Chains A and B, each alone.
Chain A
Amino acid sequence: MKLPDFTYAAPTDLRGAISLLAADPAARALAGGQSLIPVLAFRLGAPSMLVDLSNIADLDKIEVNNARLRIGAMARWAAVAESPLVHTHHPLLRAAISHVAHYQVRNRGTIGGSLAHADPAAELAAVALACDATIIAQGPQGQRRIAVADFFCGALTTALTPAELVIALELPCMPTDLRWGFAEFARRRGDFALAGAVVHFSLDAAGAIINPHIAGIGASDRPRRLTAPETVLAGQAPSLAILRAAADVATAETDAADDLHGSAAYRRSLAGTMVLRALADACAITLP
């Protein structure tokens, strides 16, 4: 459908954008438009004004400071995936982005838009959760740092207050010896995943798993950390049996619901399989 009517502004500074949003509760931010424009085309939203963030300088910077990778909200998927800093300091994020949407969408969509949109199947949300990321937001009251665990409140719902913008995502740089894995299943390449998993952990001198982190994609109503399989893995040497045990508890911990794409039982089972595949990937274990 044609989009509903709205006015348009493209401020060149962040304060200008925030005051436009604060002055009109029905105004919405426009980043890459790859989620918002479809929402408008389906007439699922009717904002009075779109405040385009594209002309704000420096909102797309990618930098590393004090062993933390900071990615500006307006950094587009393609730029993040191609960034040498991301290549060096966050291979897991880079791998995850190759599963986000399609070529053309990755040339426009931004990381800030993805976080703010909060789709339960967004790969970035799961990476952020698994990596203890921090979201930096700015609103009329100033700047604040939000731990990712407090950011996603439900499907398409975040802790952002009205007129507050995501300005950056901060991830701890990955130590080079961190083991990591990624797996997802989608019906067609580029579609949102029916389920997926992000995992990472370290191995101690004796070869046992320490500090395992696991997050699920798509199977629940929101991006979720899966703590039950983490508990199963901690202190164990990687083996097919222990990976299977972790995947089984991941299935049990996933609170999927029936939907158009499959039953809750199918989604839970798929979520467990994705945890198994991501772990096998991280351990370089070939699944039979």
Chain B
Amino acid sequence: MNARTHTPPLIRLDAQGLYCTAGDFWIDPWRPVPRAVVTHAHADHLRQGHGQYTVARPGLGLARARLPDDASVTGLDYGEALQINGVRVSLHPAGHVLGSAQVRVEHRGEVWVVSGDYKLAADATCAPFEPLRCHTFISECTFGLPVYRWPEPSVIGARINTLWREAAAEGVPLLVGAYALGKAQRILSLIDPTIGPIGLHGAVDALTTVYRESGVTLPATLPVAGQARGHDWAGALIIAPPSALNGTWARRFGAAPRVVASGWMTVRGARRRRGVDAGVVLSDHADWDGLLTAIDATGAQQVLLTHGHTAPLVRVLQQRGIDAGTLRTEFAGEDGSDAEAEADASP
């Protein structure tokens, strides 16, 4: 059993979210609170209505774009320390999307790290994941089964290029469904822009502009909405949220092949449920090996898991002598998450 039972945990779950008792602030809260430290700008982590937001400085642009103009948002450099009611708080790269952070919380020598969402794989659009030592690690667990193992990003880039060239040879565009924040820009950084023009769905276009304004270099793109109705998209790469692929918006592209980029595409059944022509295994979350590597690197004695189906990983960690458990957060992908959940709601 847990030896710390007589002292309250440094971070616990309350109705608002992950609450730091000693510091009186919340991390990624889902109900309005006076003070929020936010790991990244995805909708299930960054919500409206809080009094004050602290985010990593590279993610300031994205946070501002997603919050009302009058929201009070402060940027904190990666590694820079902030004292909140005697608790030392710092943000460290999570490698998930632009400006994504792990939150390191230190109080009277005890260190907790809240991972937010993270991945270990290379991503040219954000700073790489930084391993941190801690006593307790609150880790995401979106892909917590050993069947989820990601191919090298370069292999995925080459696969998209191949599909794109094939479509171009047939005189049609290739439609790629990818989450508008992060995944879409990562794809832009992976593909070969000399193959043809690139068109973006409005949601993707708006966030891509923020990425560029934040200093990320990406190939030239066209907003689909900005082109004349009869615009010829033959040979183009079109990036849109997955939910737009089968809707009226995508009708203008006719019978063009549709591809979804998501970690769930590992499984054939998920590809089939999506009804797409191909699945590309590309995720901004850690795969199974990534989760184990990251958790090992923390040296944490206690590991609490959020997101997804956590039981298998909890069991494996317990077998390794780690005090592992599940935190029932309201981050998306919580219950039996599936292709739809990740592709549309929880990137």
Query: Are A and B physically bound partners?
Result: no
B residues touching A (Cβ–Cβ < 8 Å)? none
